[in-house]
A and B are shown apart, each in its own frame.
Chain A
């Protein structure tokens, strides 16, 4: 009997601090699987964000750097420009990448930095207690939109991936989701493509991953996946953006 699905080597076999049903665990695993499959564990450098994934470096078994909230792509730029032979990626949430770090994100992308970005969009701030994110849907209730997100007060959900797709420095943008096993497999191949682009010196690649936050969506893990499928995807359509 052969093991056909096993724990990736680049992911430590320890319990994570994530809530039950949280998408971060799947995304961490997919990155570890891609790192193993591309055989780059000894030359990959990950940048952990501020947010729920702040201790991602405790789970991945390779070199990692912390970054201040939103600054991951500036830190990654510094590392990659000094060590272009390494494979450098950032792992950032919606608040990190598309609110406080919008400036760093757009300019790293526009410079065409040869980096890989894994962008987790769960439409909410998790670590701080479920506040409105730039990607929070219209009508969605959060700690800071207790009556639901209203366009006249809070603006529209920010389509950062579509914005980045307009920039000449960007070579690859794809939006994927983790709401079903088949979607998870698609997400993995997008992540792999984003890493391959860097290895082949093609330039800036970003994968946006729609990921569940059952705790702050106040749903069961299953309901959260259904909400991605039935509601979130309408605002954030899946597929290749660039």
Chain B
């Protein structure tokens, strides 16, 4: 495996990660702050003789991804909050058709058009399904440019393994931030079908026809299918939950944060530990499935949940701790981010 160190933005790292992970099809629509990703794919996908389409809308882009995925290829789309709202129809169909796909949301502030500053206000939408019906997307939250790149392999593998959409949930900060990245070149360009997909649409040569659908006219059939999905989600919860923890065991206060917010929280933990404060950090990496187990280690500690929103993940933390007695929240949104000073003030 060849390795190379480069200086690159989070958006571009996601693009290169997808390419190295064997993404054959990308469709997108311009929206700030993820435009560098679409532009990067426009350049690189053609260099690699793969497919790039600037679609006429976010809705069209995700349905193109649905088609490419149904054809058996690794496919992705990316957008930012208002665009992701438009993609919810497609996400529900992807989940209902059991199709793998990767969707990147570089979140901006809302609601409505909001503005283009970074935010984490789409947590509910990302982790609770988002579209109609009983389904979940697997949601990964990178917190560095390196993770943004690395998680693309993880995302495509999970999507294929479980035949389920996977969302990369970043924010405008992560997308725009430039950091050194170690690029791992590992997928030979010709081998796009990494996992054998005997369900894919390839023409019914020497086999019975394949049908990709989410439609079950009869009540019992649909109920049976839903139970199958629920079983799959249970397996994902059991096997794929990831998180990072720092100094949790002896901590009196534990910060909980993901993505960009976790970088700031990490700095706070380091600073206060140096001063002897018993403080730790839990950083969920999979937002769905939510790492409930992470909270079992030290359930009596004081928890401070930090978000670039007005309190979304905090609800999952309260569920994990079976109550809100020891859970506090500090959050800002609309472009504001809780600062190190604000957090330290709250901790004390």
Interface of A toward B, CB cutoff 8 Å = 41-45, 47-48, 54-55, 57, 60-68, 71, 74-83, 86, 103-104, 106-107
Shortest beta-carbon distance from A93 to chain B in Å: 15
Shortest beta-carbon distance from A77 to chain B in Å: 5
In the bound assembly, the distance between CA atoms of A45 and B67 in angstroms comes to: 11
In the bound assembly, the distance between CA atoms of A156 and B99 in angstroms comes to: 39
- Whether B202 and A83, one on each chain, are in contact in the complex, defined by CB atoms closer than 8 angstroms, is yes
Chain B interface extent, by class? 35 or more
Shortest beta-carbon distance from B27 to chain A in Å: 7
Complex partner residue of A65 from B65, B201, B203, CB under 8 angstroms? B201
Of the listed residues A55, A64, A78, A103, the one surrounded by the most CB atoms of chain B closer than 10 A to its CB is A78
In the bound assembly, the distance between CA atoms of A65 and B212 in angstroms comes to: 5
- Whether B64 and A64, one on each chain, are in contact in the complex, defined by CB atoms closer than 8 angstroms, is no
In the bound assembly, the distance between CA atoms of A45 and B217 in angstroms comes to: 22
- Whether A63 and B75, one on each chain, are in contact in the complex, defined by CB atoms closer than 8 angstroms, is no
- Whether A45 and B65, one on each chain, are in contact in the complex, defined by CB atoms closer than 8 angstroms, is no
B51 within 8 A of A: yes
- Whether B202 and A75, one on each chain, are in contact in the complex, defined by CB atoms closer than 8 angstroms, is no
B25 within 8 A of A: yes
In the bound assembly, the distance between CA atoms of A83 and B69 in angstroms comes to: 11
- Whether A103 and B57, one on each chain, are in contact in the complex, defined by CB atoms closer than 8 angstroms, is yes
Interface of B toward A, CB cutoff 8 Å = 24-25, 27, 51, 53, 55-57, 59-61, 63-73, 75, 89-90, 93, 97, 201-206, 209-215, 217
In the bound assembly, the distance between CA atoms of A47 and B27 in angstroms comes to: 19
Nearest 8 CB-CB pairings of A with B: A78-B67, A74-B63, A43-B203, A75-B67, A107-B56, A78-B68, A78-B64, A66-B213
Complex partner residue of B25 from A41, A47, A61, A81, CB under 8 angstroms? A81
- What DSSP secondary structure best describes chain A's contact surface? mixed
In the bound assembly, the distance between CA atoms of A45 and B55 in angstroms comes to: 22
Closest residue of A by beta carbon distance from B217: A55
For residue A77, which residues in chain B have a CB less than 8 angstroms away from its CB? 53, 64, 67
- Whether A82 and B68, one on each chain, are in contact in the complex, defined by CB atoms closer than 8 angstroms, is yes
Given contacts A65-B213, A79-B201, 11 further A-B contacts (CB under 8 A): A42-B205, A45-B203, A60-B209, A64-B213, A68-B90, A74-B66, A81-B53, A82-B24, A82-B51, A82-B68, A86-B201
Complex partner residue of B201 from A41, A61, A63, CB under 8 angstroms? A63
For residue B59, which residues in chain A have a CB less than 8 angstroms away from its CB? 71, 74, 103-104
Complex partner residue of A64 from B63, B206, B211, CB under 8 angstroms? B211
Shortest beta-carbon distance from A151 to chain B in Å: 29
For residue A78, which residues in chain B have a CB less than 8 angstroms away from its CB? 25, 27, 63-71, 75
- Whether A66 and B212, one on each chain, are in contact in the complex, defined by CB atoms closer than 8 angstroms, is yes
Shortest beta-carbon distance from A40 to chain B in Å: 8
In the bound assembly, the distance between CA atoms of A45 and B205 in angstroms comes to: 12
Given contacts A61-B209, A62-B209, A63-B204, contact A82 B63 (CB under 8 A): no
In the bound assembly, the distance between CA atoms of A120 and B123 in angstroms comes to: 41
In the bound assembly, the distance between CA atoms of A71 and B27 in angstroms comes to: 14
Shortest beta-carbon distance from A31 to chain B in Å: 14
